[in-house]
Every structure is written in structure tokens, then in C-alpha cells.
């Protein structure tokens, strides 16, 4: 079994928040989100795409890249989104992008 080893001569830190998030290619049932990844803080990063409803953030998808194709959404719906990053050293301390908006197309 091969184990991935990550070495950094610097102490680990929280990852930078994703930036320049763009939502596009909207259809009646989904859309695509792309963000620019920042510094990883010295360990592997997990990206969490979230939407807000009633003032609470909900996870849509987690990935090891800051790019997501979202499907099975309601047509003609407006979403307020953000992309967050956490790493192995700071799994409960998200660094999040500013909110951005996307609307699925009507049927």
C-alpha cells in the first residue's frame, strides 16, 4: 500500500479561500462552478460548494478541486452560493469565497 506523504518546510496553516468564483453553463437542472484555488496551507485541501437558505449554509458537493458540475436542481431557481476550503490540519476551519449567484433556466 502506498501512502501519500506531504512535506512542507513551513508550519501548516488554514488554506486560502477560493477566489474569482464563476457560475455558468446554467441549464434547467444544473450549472457549473469554477473558482481559483489559493495556497493549500501545507496539506491536502477539500473544497465544499455551499448554498444559503434561510440564513444557513448547506453543502452541495465536496471535492479535491475548486470546480463542480451541479445537477438535479430545480428549474428557474435563484441560488446564493459560496466555495469553502479546509485542509487536513484545519478540517473545521473553512476559508470561504465571497457569495456569488446563479439561476437555473426555466423549463
The residue ranges of every structural domain in the chain are: 19-103
Instruction: Find where cell 473545521 sits.
Output: 92
What average pLDDT does this structure show over 38-47?
93
Q: Is the pLDDT of residue 6 over 60?
A: no
* CATH number of this structure's domain 19-103: 2.60.40.10
pLDDT tens readout for residues 46-104: 999 999 999 999 999 999 999 999 998 889 999 999 999 999 888 888 999 999 999 99
56: CB partners within 8 A, 6+ apart: none
Q: How many CA atoms lie within 13 A of 3 on its CB side?
A: 3
- With vertex at residue 15, the alpha carbon angle to CA 13 and CA 19, rounded to the nearest 5 degrees, is 150
Instruction: Classify 102 as helix, strand or coil.
Output: strand
**How far, CA to CA in Å, does 28 sit from each of 25, 76, 93?**
10, 7, 34
Q: Is the pLDDT of residue 5 over 90?
A: no
Q: Is the pLDDT of residue 23 over 90?
A: yes
pLDDT number for residue 87: 94
pLDDT band at 9 (very low <50, low <70, confident <90, very high): low
Look up the pTM and report it.
0.84
Q: What does the block give as the cell for 76?
A: 428557474
pLDDT number for residue 93: 87
Cβ contact 68:41 at 8 Å: no
Amino acid at each position: 500500500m502506498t501512502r501519500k506523504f506531504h512535506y512542507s518546510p513551513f508550519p501548516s496553516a488554514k488554506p486560502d479561500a477560493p477566489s474569482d468564483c464563476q457560475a455558468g453553463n446554467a441549464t434547467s437542472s444544473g450549472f457549473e462552478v469554477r473558482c481559483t484555488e489559493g495556497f493549500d496551507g501545507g496539506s491536502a485541501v477539500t473544497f465544499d460548494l455551499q448554498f444559503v437558505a434561510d440564513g444557513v449554509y448547506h453543502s452541495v458537493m465536496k471535492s479535491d478541486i475548486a470546480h463542480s458540475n451541479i445537477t438535479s436542481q430545480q428549474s428557474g431557481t435563484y441560488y446564493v452560493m459560496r466555495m469553502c476550503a479546509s485542509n487536513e490540519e484545519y478540517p473545521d476551519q473553512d476559508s470561504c469565497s465571497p457569495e456569488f449567484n446563479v439561476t437555473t433556466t426555466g423549463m
